[in-house]
Chains A and B, each alone.
Chain A
Amino acid sequence: MSKYLARRLGQSLLTVFLTISTVFVLVRLAPGDPASAYAGPTATSDDLARIREQFGLDKPLISQYGIFLRDLLTGDLGTSYSFHSSALDVVLDRMPYTITLSVAAIAVTVAVAVPLGVWMARRADTSRELGANVLTIAGQSMPDFWTGVMLLTVFAVLLPVLPASGFTSWSGLILPTVTIAVLQLALISRLVRREMTTALASPYITVARSRGVSERALTWRYALANSAVPLVTAVGTRFAALLNGVVVVEVVFGWPGVGSLVVRALETRDYPLIQATVLVTATLAILVQLLVDLAYPLLDPRVRLGKAA
């Protein structure tokens, strides 16, 4: 187990390193100049040269990369051009908002999609299941900005019961959470439905049923437990994706998370901020995936970490 963990941590570090290195090169290859974005329309060539020198952008790419790696080892990801403070601090200031929204969205998704998927599996191929299918797919088909704007119009303007933007109170979490959850519902509920349908048709369920195990226990304790691995994998993947920032939803709801931050960083070519955002979100996403992998043996005793199936 510890050998497996060490190997996975090593892999994770390498993944983060390669990701951040790729981003370092790609942002510099993209068109645009941070100095001119920073200096504004009245900047002269002298101003631009001074700013490039200040940001270290006048050095060759390889030197910039060397300095970046050296600073990275000391936890210094540079100073954000637009926030004039530590890029890492700016990202870490925003991260709690993104984590809160992601956790809430994934919790609501699981709380609704799992019972819904089970319900659909129990009523597989009936007209009621078809109705539920149509509803969830309709939710998934709606673009998130449209869902968000509709929810805003109804709950913040027509029935002003919820805040329209920001995170000034806990109620501000509801609309963005629901907007994201609507998109995830179809994916998770259909996955649960498929896994549960297969599990409920398995011989061990037939045997258990013949021994008088109740339908409730069969469904929730036997079949759902055996569907846990793919479910946790899917939920973990979706959660990791949400941690990277839900750009559109954050922008529509004025949510101060990393998604809206990275949009601004890209517009202003704020290289340190882009790199810090990628580093933090990539680390979190990889950590979530690692936790998901570590959870497998707990969910399914047949799984042995570090051994081929």
Chain B
Amino acid sequence: MTRTPPSETLSRRTLLRVGAAGGAGLALSPLAACAGPTGAPGPGTLTLGLNRSLVSLDNKLNQFDAAVTVQRAVRQALTAIGPGMKPTLVLADRFEMTAPTTWSVRLREGIRYSDGRPVTVEDVTTAVRMYGEVAGSFILGLFPELPRVEATGGRTFLLHTREPVPVLDRLMANILITPAKDNRPEELRSGVGTGPYRVVSANSGAGEYTLARVPDYWGRRPPVERVRVRFVPEESSRVVALRSGELDVIDTITPDSAEQLTGLPGVHLEKTSGVRLCQLFYNFRKPKTHPLSDPRVRQALTYAIDGESLVRDVLTDSAEQAQGVVPLSLQGAERTGRFVHDPARARQLLKSLGADGLRIRIMWESGEFAADTSVMEAVAEMLKDVGVRASLLQFEPGGDILKWRQGKGGDWDVIGNGFPGPTGQAVTMLQAMYAGTAEDERTGDAFMGYVNPAIARQISDAATEADPAARDRKLAAAQHAVWDTWPCMWAFVPKTLLARRTRVEGIGLLPVNSYDLTAVRLEG
């Protein structure tokens, strides 16, 4: 009897068997996982669901609302913006203006990074330099100029500026301190900080991080042992994950989601006034003969807008009508007036100014603010009621709207625009929006073409005023002057919304949409 030698090539039958076995194994592996956890966090772990991917725990190039909460849990600055938009001392225990262009700062004694190294003045000097050298920095745009650091002792130093920067103590809250040896003019992917947490695992590509409490943190020991940060881009998924208990906190939620979550057992909503201003801003590049160049026409159009109904019915009370030219929650903001709905007056004024039958083009970028399309459609209907025909032009995110904003894309009349206030200071927003000069406008950089030399001077004067009371007075005057030019048809301030499981306590949500993780605790 002869034996058939085993075939050295893969037979058809073997291939099918191996394929079937492999397929079955793969198919069963997820089923086997049924016995595994449901993804709910453990009793000592807080899980945050962010709507944007946290690319790193450095903020040189990447700083958005919720990121600040997490970044500051690992890396800290000399100061922080605290309740009431007031600066609080963090790594510094003294931060005083000693002359209009000089500040005296002292580092707290005994502060160490999570690896035990002490914080030095050289770390501060290097940090300021690195923020200055990084290209495309968002933070850099907040500073009129970066200060020069002059060491005066082991823990003391002076910050010098060429021009007075009275809000330097607030602005320095954005400069996170890292050991000088490890700092680079780029987004740091690793390294240590002085914060209450250290990174134990990170997947920046997926936006997922695990933070653990630093055992010998220099400050108050945070109650939560571990923090997990997850990136869940789709809002409905974040809502479901919060409802199921898989996430403990979700931030930056829309009015629709807030409505869904209201009253659900185990879920609580946090709400506070925001610092983002959403406006229907006029185009200030219109020819002098155009009706919109006349502030009386711009004012008349504001009477057409029923802001109360927009806030109540379209924005479902997730916003407040603006009562000034910047959000009132910003420090230094002034209540300058209110938007009044009076269509009869709008019609009469427009007629008397020869602007009845006006046609305007309103444009905006999708997602610029919640319910953007519904707001714009409602506005178009309201304008129709006073005889103004509005056409709507919507841009997709990442499109060419910036060209249009700079007057390089084509003609338009009104833009739906959201403007952030990350410093918590009215002056920063006023400088960016209303202090444009003719020189800025040559490159299209004056905000929507708004150039008013008198107002620009007022703002600039206020921005360099060292005396706080005098600064507030000057800022208030500038804001009234801006309001009187009727720069926008309507404006509102979205509230900052956050949803949390009821086991999470102690979230002191700030208007800048961040909170201090060291104050958060888990019940049960």
Contact = CB atoms under 8 A, between A and B. Distances in A.
A126 interface: no
B29 A170 contact: yes
Interface in B10-50: 10-13, 15-16, 22-27, 29-34, 36-40, 49
B184 to A, nearest CB: 11
A135 interface: no
A59 to B, nearest CB: 17
A112 B31 CA distance: 13
Interface in B53-78: 53, 55-56, 61-62
Contacts of B420: 41
A104 B233 contact: no
B206 A94 contact: yes
Contacts of A94: 205-206
B234 A254 contact: yes
A252 B240 CA distance: 10
Contact of B234 (A112, A163, A251): A251
A251 B25 CA distance: 27
B189 A85 contact: yes
Contact of A33 (B10, B56, B136, B403): B403
Interface size class of A (residues with CB under 8 A): 35 or more
B402 A33 contact: yes
A264 B233 contact: yes
A173 B232 contact: no
Contacts of B398: 32, 37, 266-269
A201 interface: no
A160 interface: yes
User: Which of B32, B135, B244 is most buried by chain A, counting CB atoms within 10 A of its CB?
Assistant: B244
A97 B33 CA distance: 16
A46 B22 CA distance: 57
B244 A157 contact: yes
28 contacts: A31-B400, A37-B397, A39-B136, A39-B138, A42-B432, A47-B136, A47-B141, A48-B402, A50-B135, A83-B55, A85-B189, A104-B27, A111-B24, A152-B240, A157-B244, A161-B34, A164-B39, A164-B240, A165-B237, A165-B241, A172-B39, A173-B33, A225-B13, A228-B16, A254-B232, A254-B238, A256-B206, A264-B53
Given A153-B240, A164-B237, A165-B241, 11 more contacts: A83-B204, A104-B30, A107-B27, A110-B23, A160-B40, A164-B39, A165-B246, A169-B33, A171-B36, A174-B34, A299-B15
Interface of B: 10-13, 15-16, 22-27, 29-34, 36-40, 49, 53, 55-56, 61-62, 135-136, 138, 141, 186-187, 189, 203-208, 230-234, 236-238, 240-241, 243-247, 397-400, 402-403, 406, 417-420, 432, 440, 443-445
Interface of A: 31-33, 36-48, 50-51, 54, 82-85, 89-90, 93-94, 97, 103-104, 107-108, 110-112, 149, 152-153, 156-157, 160-166, 168-174, 177, 225, 228, 251-254, 256, 260-261, 264, 266-269, 295, 298-301
